[in-house]
Amino acid sequence: MRTVVQRVSSASVTVAGEVVGQIESGFVVLLGITGTDTQDDVNFLTNKLIGLRVFEDADEKMNCSIVDAGGSMLIISQFTLFGDCRKGRRPSFIEAARPEVAKPLYESFVAELRAQGIKTETGRFQEHMDVALVNDGPVTLLLDSRKLF
């Protein structure tokens, strides 16, 4: 399981002209799921996200978590995070999980964040989405449950 995490001052996701998810300060999380991911990967990454200290404290140091900052998360499924571009010019998505495997893990990821008290909005799984955000900092981080980076 892999994420691109952006600290934002605002963000929204639109599907077919309808805003389906919107947050103010917090994280936009692009979530990629591979066929070998399990609930352990969900647990690892949700705990990592909740504990990341990348929000500023009173001294303008990145010392606060999303909980400390009272932030929200916007979670967007993105199978292209497992696109392999090492050969040729067309990415291979063979490592990305099939929808019937990915969707339950995506839903579990969102449910776990909500269960931990994080206000969590989403896009729509397997839909074309327009994502708008204001990256705050900019702060952008890559997380991988297999600790590949």
Q: Which residues of 77-102 are buried (b: 16+ CB within 10 A; e: fewer)?
A: bbbebbeeeeeeeeeeeebbbeeeeb
The active-site residue out of 38, 80, 126, 140 is 80
Does the annotation mark 79 as catalytic?
yes
80 labelled catalytic = yes
Of these residues, 79, 82, 120, 122, which one is catalytic?
79
How many angstroms separate the CA atoms of 31 and 122, rounded?
11
The one catalytic residue in 78, 82, 109, 120 is: 78
HSE toward the beta carbon, residue 130, CA cutoff 13 A: 6
Sequence-distant (6+) residues with CB within 8 A of 104 are: none
First to last CA, the chain: 12
Annotated active-site positions, please?
Answer: 78-80
